[in-house]
Amino acid sequence: MADRTKAKLSHVASDGSARMVDVAAKAETAREATAKGRVRMSGEALELVRREATAKGNVIETARIAAIMAAKRTSDLIPLCHPLGIDHVDVSIGLTDDGLEIQATVRSRGRTGVEMEALTAVSVGALTIYDMVKAADKTMVINDIRLMAKSGGKSGTFVRESE
**Looking at the annotation, which residues are catalytic?**
131
Burial class (CB in 10 A: 0-12, 13-18, 19+), 82: middle
Helix locations, the chain, DSSP H: 2-8, 43-50, 59-72, 74-77, 115-133
Residue 103 CA from chain centroid, whole number: 8
| Sheet bearing 158-159, strands edge to edge | 86-96, 99-110, 29-40, 141-151, 158-159
Residue 153 DSSP label: S
